[in-house]
Amino acid sequence: MSSKTTILTGLRVNNDLHIGNYLGALLPMIDLAKEHADDYQINLFVPDLHSFTTPIDHSRLQDAIFDTVSNYIALGLPIDHENVHVYRQSFIPAHSELALILSNFTGFGEMFRMTQFKEKGRSIVAQHQNTNIEPSDTHEVEDQSDTTIRKTEENGSVGLFNYPILMAADILLYNARYVPVGDDQTQHLEFTRDIAERINNKFEQELFVLPESVKHQHEFFGKDQGLRVRDLADPTKKMSKSDDTGKGVIFLSDNPEVARKKIMSATTDSYEDVQYDFDKRPGVSNLLDLYTLFGGSQHEFLGQVQYGPLKSAVADKIAAFLGEHQQMRSTVKQATVESHLQHSEQLMNQIANRHLYDVQRAIGLRR
Ligand code: ATP
Ligand code: MG
């Protein structure tokens, strides 16, 4: 096992990446890799086995993997650095085996408490019924859990239900200490710590390094960690790749002018002026946050009576970012991506198999 502290994150390839993925998960990782790749092992993996928890177009999966990794390179990930690893989960079979092992130490009730499968289940249910989720419903996810769970049982898969177990395997296999994820993954990270600790205690050895608590993760990554970029059309929910309309989602592949239109028609509120208040005024607060995250200073807009100038300013920043990014993205070659993936996968298989063997031995599968 590498003696360096491992930092790991993965982004599903079920759709194009959006600015929430970029700001919440990718940017902290890329910034860190740019500055500190000498000091850490940095794993940015493609969780391809997580692709099927919500319905996808299977014929597009290979292109989506290539697109995602190309985005990493275009966004400045120092992929040639010897401590930076980009690999596909399904090319390292130890992920699946460890997940199967972990599932036997996971309580059914424990998985049941995870809120994300309920939320995802809801959107699958909504897709099936061809209806949109009413904004106010988002708050009722937990309250309505019985109905939601019943509907999720009908329309969602076991893979969706127990994907936090595979996610825990993804993290624990490499003894990752820091896992930059958006706020929506906090509960899964806590679960990862719980299961690691439980197994370490049961077998009386440090089989797994516990990832740091969410609080320490925040400290390590600074303010971008725990970020939740909101959907522009419905700011009560987070921006999501699997959103079926895409109206409130800015994809990294969006034509800058299309992105501009989405921002200009963002839902705000009917108050009189621009103020920051995430609970009462999620739409305008989201725009203010985006403006800051793309390098602006929101103070210029606080107190203004019109929302138009703020929207235009955010649209300018994001359109410029997309234009530049897409230009870089178009220079990345498929052969470059493929050779990087294969190189990392060879190395990661060695690390993962060695660790898996220790686990197999501890639980009695090997002598
Ligand atoms: P899906 O709807 O298919 O789950 P997603 O948009 O939630 O897609 P994921 O692949 O599940 O994206 O998540 C990749 C990473 O991006 C995770 O670390 C997640 O926490 C982060 N992330 C996702 N959405 C946001 C968001 N709106 N704001 C900040 N971070 C986000
Ligand atoms: Mg998600």
Half-sphere exposure of 275 (CA within 13 A, CB side): 9
pLDDT of residue 244: 76
Token duo for residue 59: 């014929």
Instruction: Report the alpha-carbon angle 265-270-275, nearest 5.
Output: 90
pLDDT digits (tens, 9 = 90+) for 309-358: 999 999 999 999 999 999 999 999 999 999 999 999 999 999 999 999 99
Name the nearest CA neighbour of 284 among 241, 356, 230. Answer: 230
Predicted local distance difference test score (pLDDT) of residue 156: 81
Active site residue 241: yes
Q: How far apart are CA 253 and CA 262, in angstroms?
A: 14
Residue bearing the CA closest to ligand 1, atom 8: 241
pLDDT of residue 2: 55
Position 1 scores a pLDDT of 46
Q: What is the pLDDT of residue 54?
A: 85
pLDDT the model gives residue 147? 65
Q: For CA atoms 10, 200, 109, 101, give the dihedral sign.
A: positive
Q: Which residues of the chain have pLDDT under 50?
A: 1, 131-143
Asked if residue 140 lies in contact with residue 164, where contact means CB atoms within 8 angstroms, the answer is: no
DSSP codes joined into one string, 154-170: HHS-HHHHTHHHHHHHH
Complete domains list, the chain, with CATH: 5-222+334-363 (3.40.50.620), 256-329 (1.10.240.10)
Helices 308-329 + 282-293 axis angle, to 10: 50
Please name which ligand lies nearest the alpha carbon of 286.
1
One-letter amino acid at 45 equals: F
Q: Which residues contact 367 (CB under 8 A, 6 or more apart)?
A: 361
- Identify the CA nearest to 173 among candidates 89, 282, 294: 89
Angle at 267 between CA 265 and CA 269, to 5 degrees: 130
Residue identifier of the C-alpha nearest atom 13 of ligand 1: 11
CB 277 within 8 A of CB 287: no
Cα–Cα distance for residue pair 202/104, rounded to 1 Å: 13
pLDDT given at position 351: 97
Ligand 1 pocket, CB under 6 A: 9, 11-12, 14, 20-21, 23-25, 54, 181-182, 184-185, 227-229, 238-242
Q: Are 304 and 310 in contact (CB under 8 A)?
A: yes
Residue identifier of the C-alpha nearest atom 11 of ligand 1: 12
Atom 20 (ligand 1) nearest CA: 182
Q: Are 30 and 136 in contact (CB under 8 A)?
A: no
Q: Is residue 223 among the annotated active site residues?
A: no
Closest ligand 1 atom to residue 243 Cα is 2
Active site residue 215: no
Q: Is 251 helix (H, G, I), strand (E, B) or coil?
A: strand
Active-site annotation holder among 120, 151, 237, 262:
120
Looking at 118, 237, 238, 311, which residue is catalytic? Answer: 238
At 44-81, the pLDDT tens digits run 999 999 999 888 899 999 999 999 999 999 999 999 99
Per-residue model confidence (pLDDT) at position 55? 86
Q: Among candidates 12, 91, 10, which has minimal Cα distance to 56?
A: 12
End-to-end Cα, the chain, rounded Å: 21
Q: What is the CA radius of gyration of the chain?
A: 21
- From 15, 21, 250, the mutation candidate for ligand 1 (largest count of ligand atoms within 8 A of CB) is 21
